[in-house]
C-alpha cells in the first residue's frame, strides 16, 4: 500500500493549527512517568492473560491506535483526489480523547458477549482497533467516507467490520445499548434458546448529555434494574464549537443517582494524584478543580515555560510555588494531562469494581485531541493535521509515513496481545431459531360496524388463537396509552412484561376491566409517556433476530399526532436493522372533538417517504387483518421491512367494503389489498366519467359521493387504497428496467385505456395522492386536510376541511364540466 502523501491540505475549514513541538507530542516521545501496573489474573499465569493487564503493553497499543485512527482521517482528506471540492472531514480530536478508554475495553475488559455503542465521532478509533484485532481488512483504512468504505459514523449494517450499534444520531445511538439490554432480557425470559449476553456499553461524549433522549431513557423506572448496563462519558469539556463553560458535573451526577445509577468519576490519573499528596499538592488540586474549563484548556495550549506561573497566579502559596518549581516544565505539562480517562490502569481497576446490580455511568475526564498538536484547542473539533504534523506524530508514536498501516512486529508483546484479543473477541455466527409461519388470513367474518383501531385489538386476540406459535413472538408496546389504543384484550390474555414477577394488588378486584399482571412471561411492555423511548425500544426489539437469532414481531401503538415526534429515533432504528410495526391511532381530524392540537396532517406523507417501511391506512376490518398479517410476515426476517399503520376510532359499516363471498374473488381481493388497493365498484372502468379515490376512515364519504353522482347520471368509479405507499412504488417502478409486469397494482386500479378525471380524498395532506395524476395523465383534484382545525363533531370537521360528501361531489362535477 502506498504511503499517505504529506502535501498540505486544501480542505476548507480549520486545519492543522498547533506547533509540531506541542507538549502532546513531547509526552509521546518521552518514557511514561506513570507507575507501572501489572495485574495478574488469579485464574491463570499465562503470558496472554498477563498481557491484558500489562499497562505498558496497553499503552503501546493505545499509541498505535491513536496513530491509525488519525491516519484514517488524514488518508480520507489528503490521500484521495477530491474533484468535487466538498469537504470530506472527520474527527481526529474527538477520536483521540477516546483512545485509552477504548483500548482498555477491547484489549482487556470486553468479551465476545458484550455489545458496545461507540460515540459517532470516534468511529476511526473503532476501525483502528478492529484492524489490529484482525476484524478489518487493510484495504478499508483509506476508504473513510468513500463509497463502499468506512462510514462517517459507526454503522451496524453498512460498515465492513464489527459494529454493534449505529450511532450517527447523537444521543439516540447512546441509548441504543440500554434498549438492547432490555430487549435481551425480554427474549431471554421468553425463549430458552436465547444466547447469553454480557455487558451493554455506551461510549458517549459529554455534549451528548444535552440531548433529551438521554434523560428520557435514564429516567424510565425499568432501567434501574439493568445491572448489565455501563455508560462511559468522554468528559473532554468541549462541544462542536466551543469549550463548554460549565459542565455542571455534580448536577449530572445527581440526575443519574436519582434514577438509581451507580456513578463513578475519574478525574485525575495516578501520576498527578501522587503530586496532590506532596506539600502544596492540596492547593494544586483545588486550584485545578476550581478553575473554569476555559482556563484549563488554555493551560494545555500554553508554552511549557508559562504553565507554572499561570497555575500559581498572584495568590499561590510558597508550598504551591515550591511544588511547581520542583517539577521540570515538561513533566508539569504531562501532569496537567494526566486525567482519569487516559489512565489505563485506573480504568481497568474501575471496570472491576462496578456494581453489577444496577446500571453504572463513569464520567471519565479526558483531553479532546489527546496526543495531537490540536489537543485542547477550542476549535479542534473538525481540525485536520497538516502533512508536517502527521510526519511528527508518526515519529512520536513509533509509526512510519511510508507504511502507515504497519502492525506490531511479530513476537512482540503488543502483537501477541492483538492476536490473543482478536481470537477472544471473535463471535460465532448467528443461527436463527425456526418459527411458525404467519397465516395469510384469519377466519373471522367482519360484519358489524367497527373502527380500525378496535379491529386491531380484536385482530390480536384472534391471531393468538389462530397461530399460537408465531403469536408467542409478538410483543406490544405503548407509552401509557395501551387501553386507549385498544390493546386491553391482548394485555388481559398475555400480561405485562417485567424483568421480575410483581404482585398484582388488584387481582381480586372484580370490577377491574384491564388486568395489569406484571410477569416475566408477559407480552406487552409499557413505558412512560415518552415516544422517543418507545420507538428506541421498538427498534431494538426488532433487531433481536439478527443479534441473537430470536425473532420478535414488535408492535407499538401511540397517538398518530405524535408520530412526527418519534420519527427520528424510529428511523434510526430502521437504519440500524430494527424491523417493527408502529400503529398511529387515532389519526387525522376524524377524532373531531379533540380539536386542532390532535390532528395529524402530514403523517401519511411521512410514512410514504420513510425508507425500508411500508405505510398502510386500511379503511375496513378485513383490510386491516390482511395488511397486518402481511406486515407481520415481513418483520424479524432477513430482507424484511417495517410498517406504519394509520388507524382511526371512527366505526365504519363493514358492508361498504363489498367483500366478495366467492373464494377465488376473495383471494383476489386479498392480494390486491396487500398490494396497495382495490376497486369497490364492479363496473367496467371504461365507462367511468370520474374516479373517486379514498383512503382510510374517509371511505364512507367517498362511497356516498359515488352514489350521489350516480343519482345525477354520472358514472363514478370508487378505488379504496390500503397503502398509498405501495401504489406509489408501483407507479414509480412502472417501465423501469427490471421491473415486474403483470402484477402492477397501479395499472390494475387505473387501466391506461380507461382514462377518467380523478378526485382523491383522505384525512391527511392532499398532496399525498397527487402522484396519481401521472398514472394515466388524468386531470385531478386532491382533497384533504391542509390547515389546523378546531373541536367539532365529525360532520362539521369534514365540511370545515372540504372532505365531506358534498365537497367530493362538487369536485367531481367541476372536473367533468358540470
Task: Render pLDDT for 584-623 as a digit per residue (tens, 0 to 9).
Answer: 999 999 988 887 888 899 999 999 999 999 999 999 999 9
Q: Is 700's pLDDT higher than 70?
A: yes
DSSP letter assigned to residue 497: E
**pLDDT tens-digit readout, 531-584:** 899 999 999 999 999 999 999 999 999 999 999 989 999 999 999 999 999 999
What does the angle CA 602 – CA 605 – CA 609 come to, to the nearest 5 degrees? 140
Report the pLDDT averaged over residues 180-193. 96
Share of the chain above pLDDT 70, in %: 90
**Residue 131 pLDDT level (bands cut at 50, 70, 90):** very high
Predicted pLDDT of residue 517: 78
> What is the separation, in whole angstroms, between the first and last Cα of the chain?
75
Q: Has residue 44 got a pLDDT over 60? A: no
Among the listed residues 75, 77, 70, 60, the one whose alpha carbon sits nearest the alpha carbon of residue 139 = 75
Local confidence band at 269 (pLDDT 50, 70, 90 cut-offs)? very high
- Residue with the bigger pLDDT between 376 and 634: it is 634
DSSP class per residue in 561-603: GGHHHHHHHHHHHHHTT---EEEE-S-GGGSGGG-GGG--SSH
Which residues does 210 contact at the CB level (< 8 Å), separation at least 6? 171, 239
- Is the link from the previous residue into 112 a cis peptide, with omega within 30 of 0? no
Q: Give Cβ neighbours of residue 296 (< 8 Å, ≥ 6 apart).
A: 237, 288, 336
Sequence-separated contacts (24+) of 768-777 with Cβ below 8 Å: 768/604, 768/605, 768/608, 768/724, 769/693, 769/695, 769/721, 769/724, 771/728, 771/731, 772/693, 772/727, 772/731, 774/731, 775/731, 775/746, 775/750, 776/750, 776/752
β-bridge pairing 229-235 and 716-721: unpaired
3-state secondary structure of 363: strand
Helix (H) or strand (E) segment spanning residue 758: strand 758-761
Average pLDDT, the chain: 89
User: What's 138's DSSP letter?
Assistant: G
Q: Which of 111-120, 247-256, 446-455, 626-635 has the lowest mean pLDDT?
A: 247-256
Q: Are 93 and 373 in contact (CB under 8 A)?
A: no
The lowest-confidence range among 107-111, 482-486, 689-693, 774-778 is 482-486
| pLDDT band at residue 512 using 50, 70 and 90 as cut-offs | low
Written as one string, the DSSP assignment of 169-214 is STTHHHHHHHHHHHHHHHHHHH-TTPPP---EEEEEEGGGGGSHHH
CB crowding 189-202: b at 16 or more within 10 Å, else e: bbbeebbebebbbb
pTM: 0.90
Q: Which of 600, 563, 599, 595 is nearest to 581 (CA)?
A: 563
User: What percent of the residues of the chain are helix, what percent strand, and what percent coil, each to the nearest 5?
Assistant: 45, 10, 45
Give the separation between CA 716 and CA 681, rounded to whole angstroms: 8
Amino acid at each position: 500500500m502506498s504511503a499517505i502523501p504529506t502535501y498540505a491540505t486544501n480542505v476548507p475549514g480549520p486545519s492543522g493549527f498547533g506547533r509540531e513541538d506541542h507538549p502532546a507530542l513531547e509526552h509521546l516521545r518521552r518514557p511514561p512517568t506513570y507507575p507501572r501496573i501489572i495485574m495478574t489474573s488469579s485464574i491463570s499465569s499465562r503470558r496472554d492473560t498477563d498481557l491484558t493487564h500489562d499497562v505498558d503493553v496497553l499503552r503501546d497499543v493505545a499509541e498505535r491506535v491513536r496513530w491509525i485512527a488519525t491516519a484514517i482521517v488524514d488518508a480520507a482528506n489528503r490521500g484521495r483526489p477530491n474533484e468535487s471540492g466538498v469537504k470530506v472531514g472527520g474527527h481526529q480530536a474527538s477520536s483521540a480523547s477516546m483512545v485509552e478508554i477504548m483500548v482498555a475495553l477491547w484489549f482487556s475488559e470486553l468479551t465476545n458477549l458484550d455489545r458496545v455503542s461507540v460515540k459517532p465521532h470516534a468511529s476511526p478509533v473503532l476501525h483502528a482497533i478492529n484492524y489490529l484485532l484482525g476484524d478489518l481488512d487493510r484495504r478499508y483504512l483509506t476508504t473513510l467516507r468513500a463509497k463502499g468504505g468506512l462510514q462517517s459514523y459507526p454503522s451496524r449494517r453498512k460498515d465492513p467490520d464489527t459494529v454493534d450499534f449505529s450511532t450517527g444520531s447523537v444521543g439516540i445511538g447512546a441509548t441504543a445499548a440500554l434498549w438492547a439490554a432490555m430487549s435481551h432480557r425480554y427474549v431471554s425470559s421468553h425463549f430458552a434458546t436465547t444466547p447469553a449476553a454480557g455487558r451493554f456499553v455506551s461510549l458517549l461524549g459529554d455534549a451528548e448529555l444535552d440531548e433529551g433522549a438521554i434523560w428520557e431513557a435514564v429516567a424510565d423506572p425499568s432501567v434501574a434494574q439493568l445491572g448489565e448496563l455501563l455508560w462511559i462519558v468522554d468528559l473532554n469539556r468541549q462541544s462542536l464549537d466551543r469549550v463548554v463553560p460549565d459542565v455542571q458535573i455534580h448536577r449530572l451526577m445527581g440526575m443519574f443517582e436519582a434514577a438509581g445509577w451507580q456513578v463513578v468519576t475519574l478525574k485525575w490519573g495516578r501520576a498527578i494524584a501522587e503530586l496532590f499528596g506532596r506539600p502544596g499538592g492540596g492547593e494544586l488540586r483545588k486550584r485545578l478543580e476550581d478553575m473554569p474549563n476555559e482556563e484549563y484548556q488554555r493551560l494545555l495550549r500554553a508554552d511549557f515555560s508559562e504553565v507554572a506561573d499561570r497555575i500559581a497566579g498572584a495568590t499561590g502559596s510558597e508550598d504551591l510555588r515550591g511544588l511547581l518549581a520542583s517539577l521540570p516544565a515538561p513533566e508539569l505539562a504531562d501532569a496537567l494531562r494526566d486525567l482519569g480517562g487516559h489512565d489505563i490502569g485506573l480504568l481497568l481497576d474501575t471496570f472491576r469494581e462496578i456494581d453489577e446490580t444496577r446500571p453504572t455511568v463513569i464520567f471519565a475526564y479526558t483531553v479532546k485531541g489527546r496526543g495531537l498538536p490540536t489537543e485542547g484547542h477550542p476549535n479542534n473539533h473538525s481540525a485536520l493535521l497538516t502533512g508536517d504534523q502527521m510526519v511528527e506524530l508518526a515519529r512520536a508514536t513509533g509509526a512510519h509515513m511510508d507504511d502507515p498501516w504497519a502492525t506490531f512486529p511479530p513476537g512482540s508483546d503488543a502483537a501477541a496481545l492483538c492476536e490473543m484479543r482478536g481470537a477472544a473477541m471473535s463471535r460465532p455466527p448467528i443461527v436463527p431459531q425456526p418459527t411458525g409461519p404467519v397465516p395469510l388470513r384469519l377466519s373471522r367474518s367482519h360484519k358489524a360496524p367497527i373502527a380500525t383501531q378496535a379491529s386491531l385489538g380484536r385482530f390480536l386476540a384472534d391471531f393468538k388463537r389462530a397461530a399460537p406459535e408465531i403469536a408467542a413472538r409478538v410483543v406490544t408496546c405503548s407509552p401509557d396509552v395501551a387501553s386507549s389504543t385498544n390493546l386491553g384484550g391482548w394485555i388481559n390474555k398475555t400480561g405485562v412484561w417485567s424483568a421480575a414477577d410483581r404482585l398484582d394488588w388488584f387481582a381480586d378486584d372484580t370490577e377491574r376491566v384491564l388486568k395489569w399482571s406484571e410477569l416475566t412471561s408477559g407480552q406487552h411492555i409499557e413505558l412512560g409517556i415518552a415516544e422517543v423511548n418507545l420507538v428506541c425500544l421498538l427498534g431494538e426489539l426488532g433487531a433481536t433476530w439478527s443479534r441473537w437469532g430470536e425473532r420478535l414481531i414488535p408492535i407499538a401503538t401511540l397517538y398518530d399526532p405524535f408520530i412526527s415526534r418519534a420519527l427520528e429515533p424510529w428511523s434510526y432504528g430502521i437504519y440500524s436493522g430494527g424491523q417493527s410495526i408502529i400503529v398511529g391511532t387515532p389519526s387525522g381530524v376524524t377524532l373531531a372533538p379533540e380539536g386542532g392540537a390532535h390532528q395529524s396532517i402530514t403523517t401519511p406523507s411521512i410514512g410514504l417517504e420513510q425508507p425500508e417501511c411500508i405505510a398502510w391506512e386500511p379503511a375496513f376490518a378485513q383490510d386491516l387483518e390482511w395488511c397486518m398479517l402481511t406486515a407481520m410476515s415481513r418483520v424479524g426476517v432477513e430482507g424484511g421491512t417495517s410498517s406504519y399503520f394509520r388507524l382511526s376510532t371512527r366505526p365504519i359499516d363493514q358492508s361498504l367494503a363489498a367483500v366478495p363471498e366467492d373464494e377465488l374473488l376473495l383471494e383476489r381481493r386479498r392480494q390486491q389489498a396487500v398490494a396497495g388497493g382495490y376497486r369497490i365498484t364492479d363496473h367496467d372502468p371504461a365507462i367511468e366519467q370520474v374516479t373517486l379515490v379514498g383512503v382510510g376512515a374517509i371511505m364512507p364519504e367517498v362511497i356516498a359521493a359515488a352514489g350521489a353522482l350516480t343519482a345525477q347520471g354520472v358514472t363514478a368509479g370508487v378505488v379504496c387504497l390500503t397503502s398509498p405507499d405501495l401504489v406509489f412504488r408501483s407507479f414509480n417502478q412502472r417501465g423501469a428496467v427490471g421491473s415486474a409486469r403483470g402484477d402492477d397494482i397501479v395499472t390494475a386500479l387505473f387501466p391506461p385505456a380507461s382514462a377518467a378525471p380523478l378526485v382523491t380524498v383522505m384525512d391527511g395532506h392532499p398532496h399525498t395522492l397527487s402522484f396519481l395524476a401521472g398514472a394515466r395523465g388524468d386531470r385531478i383534484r386532491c382533497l384533504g386536510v391542509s390547515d389546523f382545525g378546531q373541536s367539532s363533531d365529525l360532520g362539521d370537521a369534514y365540511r370545515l376541511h372540504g372532505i365531506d360528501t358534498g365537497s367530493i361531489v362538487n369536485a367531481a362535477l367541476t372536473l367533468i364540466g358540470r
